Structure 1
């Protein structure tokens, strides 16, 4: 248990150092969430990725805003989805899940209200075949099918990419490509965009920013450009994880 707590603390300390150098971004924690971790996240205004219903419930009980709880677990069944409508943001990685969320929202929400859903999207450039979500090239087909789901609204994007080996300038390019992918989603679906999550980048961010010098400068410049661009485009939450 002590080893586990030490590992969690190390993750949070890395996030703290990264976010200090990346103003305009919010950290999305995706590890084990005990009461002390949730308290830490709340104090810093950070968000959490919930991969099971227990984490959603613990985060809600701790007082976390539903818009900072991102429920990403694949293959959620109908009962779990119905139980968590109004407690979190759902992030869907396949169409069947979108259909189930739509059915639950139609059953539970008052007429005229929509459940906001995010999509897990995989840009071709960073696809190593191991990511879970919608390949960007398949979104035109999804767009046609999604129009039939009248009780949900697509409003967010988790960009799933292979980030091994990214560093400095290439990592900054990844952040910007994540944002460009979200822009593509808004055009193809079409939809709004209230948050954009650059997945799988906390470790490379930490390594780059710890190195200092030119590589740190290149990354901070790219992140700054993205944050400014966001102020004239989506005004979305910019998440890093």
Structure 2
């Protein structure tokens, strides 16, 4: 059995902009007996803009996701904030390692280690939609509130829409004024018009009474309505909800 972690070699981001780095990971060969830990560390002046729902902040630089049952082929995104000033494009913005659970620091090697560099570049249109910086929890009525950051970090104006797709058993609680009525499967489309440089989009989701753990709650995305988005990696994802009963 061998572990692997893989990220893009290099991605573009403007100064002070948002960068979503896709991370693929898993195992090859015989099924692993023990779980594993995915460690993601920002470097080179980059910081965490948001942390995956299942992730834990180890310190200011490192986020860890522990898997008791490591998927053979898993995916997540590291959502970063670029520095306001220049950075060294020859050095990684993010380093990733996948190790067997409980292993010491620096034990990863070979295919289980990867890194991504960032090149400073401002696109014409570059929309982003980032989840809250921490895991979201339901209130006493079983309703979870999500405050998403969104915006256009490109140099040209653009119009856009947000799409929200609750997972089975989940539904939107109320409806933001920009959004159309839900379709039969609960999907909602929200016409935002002109996208600002940065704003907050708030919506609420009703959690099923039988839900436990950290389940998937809603799939989200933002799309440019009248132009081509230079970096769609920033635009979508799945948000979980942390439920403790």
- TM interval, shorter chain, is under 0.3
User: Larger C-alpha radius of gyration, 1 or 2?
Assistant: 2
Higher relative contact order (CA 8 A, sep 6+): 2
TM-score by length of 1: 0.24
The structure with the greater share of residues assigned to strand is 2
